[in-house]
Amino acid sequence: MPDQKKQPATEKSLGRSAGVVSIAIMASRLLGLVREKVIAHYFSAAVGADAFTAAFRIPNLIRELFAEGALSKAFITTFPDTEAKEGSAAAELLANRIFILTALVLSIITAAGIYATPFIVKTMLPGEGFALSLDPLQHFGFTTKGELTVFLARIMFPFLMLVSFAAIVMGLLNTKKIFGIPALASAFFNIGAIAGGIAGYYWGPQFQMHPATGLALGVLAGGFMQFAVQLPSLWRTGFRFHFSFSLRNKRVQQVMLLMGPAIFGAAVFQISIFINSIFASEGIGWMTWLNRAFRLMHLPLGVFGVAISTVALPNFARLVAANNLGAFRTGLLRALRLSFFLTIPATIVLMLLAEPICRLIFEGGKTGPIDTSQTARALFFMALAIAGYSAAKITTDGFYAFKDTRTPMIISAVTVCLNIGLNYLFIYHIFHTHWSLALSTGLTQNLNFILLIWFLRKKTGTLALQKLLPFLAKLLASSILFGIVLYYSYLAFSQILPAESILNQFVVILATLTISGSFFIFCTYFLKMEEAVSAAGVLAKLRK
């Protein structure tokens, strides 16, 4: 009974914190779309955009493998336990030791990466798309797209260190229940990339530099800002940096042990992206089209899935540490419900409005109707991954709360092997086109979630998953009706305002989403779904 009394407050706290993170991530993702719009306007998919996208993917793969994946989650699950059992001084000492260890390891990785970049590019991008010959006079001495990619990747490698430091600070702040500033920090990264892209296009040639160089330098500036903007909040918590290094400390070893399987599991997923890059290098523009679709897919993922996961992980860790498995199960189911409630309608929007959205955001300058069409096809199939990917992140956090990184690693390995097999089958034997890579991603991400939830249920004894069935039935019924209203609303508004200008396109999409979104909330509220009732309560307060 005491737990039941505390539950509403906990649920409100989860929703409120997730809302703060969602708003912050929304701002960051919107700036990310502005960044992609800048790249699409000033750089062609065939050369500049493709080269930058591929070059950025190299340090970014290691970032996702090390910083925002294994390191962040291992640290977040260890820091609260250290603080609770050994005190705040011991927790602060652990954080400083992790900072120093990260700096040493990533300095070596960065130096080795810069040296080995030509080999990495040749291995990662062997297709004809990156053997494309360039006129050295027009491209500032670069004779192939591969050479330009190597140059840009070497500039951006130090980004890995900057964003890793930012991830540690984010983890520290999240354990202190500070979510807004860390979630907003990546917006400053996008500001740097936007400013760099524009400056590079207009001023780069004046300094005899390829215009895409500005994008690479902007990434470095953005990475520094993403780290620095969090420091004032960290200072206010009382944390101070000081040098401390130890590999024998049991808490440092605990972080390293948790990171081991997590890195391997993440490495398996990054190998999948690596293999996808090999397939994507087969065609000219494929890398850019897929990347733009991926960015659009990540808008709802970041706003909803990542936001819920960011707030849920520290909460899961505290509940498991207190051996309160009943509250853990309730929290997990609530997080999954909220995730599905938000991501399934988002999936329908991105599938049905794929081409209008891509036209609005990317078309113009050096991006034409063909680029729009090809990006939209990739987005249609990639959107299938949104609900599964979001739910998988939350479920994986459940394993991390139990300090189990091995099970997600094994499941990730299985699904990635399947993804690679589907890519090969689709590209070389069935579809022979870029969007088949998006289709295989959608299929395998949903399978990944199913396997994760199945094994987490075995770990905890029960998750009472049957409680989700009535919720899912109501949600699917509402979503089907939502899709019908969305489709016909767009047809009606597009006849009233033809897509002759960006303003018309924006108004049509906004009106369509407003009408269909209101209908979705009405349907779910009529069916008395808790999430819709909460949303209606928030709207009522705003009107007052």
**pLDDT, position 541:** 45
Instruction: Report the helix count and the strand count for the chain, using DSSP H and E.
Output: 21, 0
Q: Is 242 exposed, middle or buried (0-12, 13-18, 19+ CB in 10 A)?
A: exposed
**pLDDT, position 184:** 80
> What is the distance between the alpha carbons of residues 457 and 27, in angstroms, rounded to a whole number?
35
Tokens of 117: 């970049």
| Pairwise pLDDT comparison (509 vs 19), residue with the higher score | 509
Q: Quote the mean pLDDT of the chain.
A: 81
Residue 529's pLDDT band, with cuts at 50, 70 and 90, is: confident
Check if the beta carbon of residue 160 is closer than 8 Å to that of residue 62.
yes
Residue 350's pLDDT band, with cuts at 50, 70 and 90, is: very high
Neighbours of 440 (CB within 10 A): 27
**pLDDT for 51-79, tens place per residue?**
898 888 888 777 776 655 566 667 666 77
**pLDDT for 145-167, tens place per residue?**
888 999 999 999 998 888 888 88
**pLDDT, position 501:** 83
Predicted confidence (pLDDT) at residue 517 exceeds the cutoff of 80: yes
Neighbours of 326 (CB within 10 A): 12
Predicted confidence (pLDDT) at residue 2 exceeds the cutoff of 50: no
**pLDDT, position 355:** 94
**pLDDT, position 62:** 74
Predicted confidence (pLDDT) at residue 422 exceeds the cutoff of 80: yes
**pLDDT for 441-493, tens place per residue?**
888 889 989 999 888 887 777 777 788 888 899 999 999 999 999 999 999 99
Q: Is 543 exposed, middle or buried (0-12, 13-18, 19+ CB in 10 A)?
A: exposed
Average pLDDT over residues 416-420: 86
**pLDDT, position 512:** 95
Check if the beta carbon of residue 285 is closer than 8 Å to that of residue 129.
yes
Q: Burial letters for 156-171: b for 16+ Cβ neighbours within 10 Å, e otherwise? A: bbbbbbbbbbbbbbbb
Check if the beta carbon of residue 155 is closer than 8 Å to that of residue 220.
yes
Predicted confidence (pLDDT) at residue 544 exceeds the cutoff of 50: no
**pLDDT, position 390:** 86
136: amino acid identity, one letter: P
Q: Could you tell me if residue 241 is left (phi over 0), alpha (psi between -120 and 50 degrees) or otherwise beta?
A: beta
**pLDDT for 260-315, tens place per residue?**
666 665 555 566 666 777 788 777 788 888 888 888 887 777 666 666 766 676 67
Tokens of 324: 């309160």
**pLDDT for 373-399, tens place per residue?**
999 999 999 899 889 888 888 888 888
**pLDDT for 490-502, tens place per residue?**
999 999 888 778 8
**pLDDT, position 217:** 92
Predicted confidence (pLDDT) at residue 537 exceeds the cutoff of 70: no
> What is the distance between the alpha carbons of residues 161 and 107, in angstroms, rounded to a whole number?
7
Check if the beta carbon of residue 161 is closer than 8 Å to that of residue 110.
yes
- Per the DSSP assignment, residues forming a β-bridge with 189 are none
Percent of the chain with pLDDT over 70: 85
**pLDDT, position 415:** 87
Closest CA to 163 of 91, 66, 292: 66
Average pLDDT over residues 226-240: 86
Helices assigned H by DSSP within 231-284: 231-236, 250-280
**pLDDT, position 177:** 74
Q: Is 35 exposed, middle or buried (0-12, 13-18, 19+ CB in 10 A)?
A: buried
